Amino acid sequence: MNGTLGGTNSDFVPVLGLSKAQGEELLEKLEAGETLTVTVAVEGAEVSESTSHNVIATKKPDKEKDSGQIVIVGAHHDSVEGAPGANDDASGTATTLELARVLSDIPNDTELRFITFGAEENGLLGSYAYVDTLTEDEIGRTVGMFQLDMVGSRDAGKLTMFTVDGKANIVTDLGSGVGARLSEKVNYGKEGRSDHVPFSEVGVPAALFIHSPTEPWYHTPEDTIDKISKAKLQEVAEIVGAAVYLIAHEDTPPVK
């Protein structure tokens, strides 16, 4: 062993994960001829930097009809490494695109924002970054956020709505009402872990739409398109589409 271990002017010994003081102590012991048993573990050695993007489509209301309100439909377009992500969350991404297509035609008094977030799986990075861009005024005008994450698996359970605090809000109220009329009762519960969280944290009524319990292929290489049920996608698209319509159509009253 030579002096490189603790002998430079750096503050720590990065390779061994030791502080400078610990490195010097180790060096002293080695120089004094002590026999040491050292366990070396390599963890998280690879570091890289990359950029992720959110994709945002906006439909503003007619100037004369503007209620001043905003409603957001979201999903995430990334997936975990090794998983194709057909259900998590291409299902929500596809449904968001379809809702944007369908709702682009309605006369709206409420601004519609359709967003697919990046880097959800890395800690909701895209949605936190997006919420960071909103002004207090925009946050105050945002009456609802509908998050679609894992909404197409034939092997998952029933459509469920999750809020961060487990309480009902305008989003779950509309989901329940429309669900009961269009298909079947949609229950709600408490769960974070998706892009509705950053919105909820700034006070925007938000809910995650997901089939629960999740499918066995969750976050595996088996999350492939053959497991996707068109009927399940259709059901969630109708429920969320009708709920958004009820907020946004110019003939319906403002939410609050």
One symbol per residue from 196 to 215: x for binding ligand PHE (CB under 6 A), - otherwise; what is it? --------------x---x-
Indicate the SS3 state at residue 233: helix
Q: Does 235 bind Zn ion (CB under 5 A)?
A: no
Pairing of strands 206-212, 158-163: antiparallel
Q: For residues 181 and 99, what is the distance between their CA atoms, to the nearest angstrom?
A: 19
Shortest distance, position 89 Cβ to ligand PHE, whole Å: 6
Q: For residues 83 and 85, what is the distance between their CA atoms, to the nearest angstrom?
A: 5
| Sites for ligand PHE among residues 86-105 (CB under 6 A) | 88-89
Q: For residues 36 and 1, what is the distance between their CA atoms, to the nearest angstrom?
A: 12
Chosen residue from 194, 197, 206, 235 binding ligand PHE by CB under 6 A: 194
CA angle 148, 154, 158 (to 5 degrees): 60
* DSSP string for residues in 167-192: ---HHHHHHHHHHHHHSS--EEEE--
Q: Does 89 bind Zn ion (CB under 5 A)?
A: yes
Of 5-13, 86-94, 136-144, 169-177, the window that binds Zn ion (rule: CB under 5 A) is 86-94
CB 221 within 8 A of CB 36: no
Chosen residue from 88, 111, 215, 223 binding Zn ion by CB under 5 A: 88
Shortest distance, position 15 Cβ to ligand PHE, whole Å: 34
Q: Does 150 bind ligand PHE (CB under 6 A)?
A: yes
Q: Which of ligand PHE, Zn ion, none lies near 193, with the C-beta cut-off 5 to 8 A by kind?
A: ligand PHE
By beta-carbon proximity to ligand PHE, the closer residue of 70 and 206 is 206
Of 14-22, 31-39, 181-189, 191-199, the window that binds ligand PHE (rule: CB under 6 A) is 191-199
Tokens of 117: 């977030």
Q: For residues 36 and 25, what is the distance between their CA atoms, to the nearest angstrom?
A: 12
By beta-carbon proximity to ligand PHE, the closer residue of 69 and 91 is 91
CB 241 within 8 A of CB 102: yes
Q: Does 52 bind ligand PHE (CB under 6 A)?
A: no
Shortest distance, position 188 Cβ to ligand PHE, whole Å: 13
Q: Does 75 bind ligand PHE (CB under 6 A)?
A: no
Q: Does 191 bind ligand PHE (CB under 6 A)?
A: yes
Indicate the SS3 state at residue 202: coil
Q: Does 78 bind ligand PHE (CB under 6 A)?
A: no
Q: In whole angstroms, how far apart are CA 229 and each of 3, 72, 181?
A: 64, 25, 21
Chosen residue from 111, 149, 215, 235 binding ligand PHE by CB under 6 A: 149
CB 93 within 8 A of CB 72: no
Q: How many C-beta neighbours within 10 Å does residue 249 have?
A: 14
**Chain mean position to CA 85:** 13
Q: Interface with Zn ion by CB under 5 A: which residues?
A: 88-89, 109, 149, 252
Q: Interface with ligand PHE by CB under 6 A: which residues?
A: 88-89, 120-121, 149-150, 191, 193-194, 210, 214
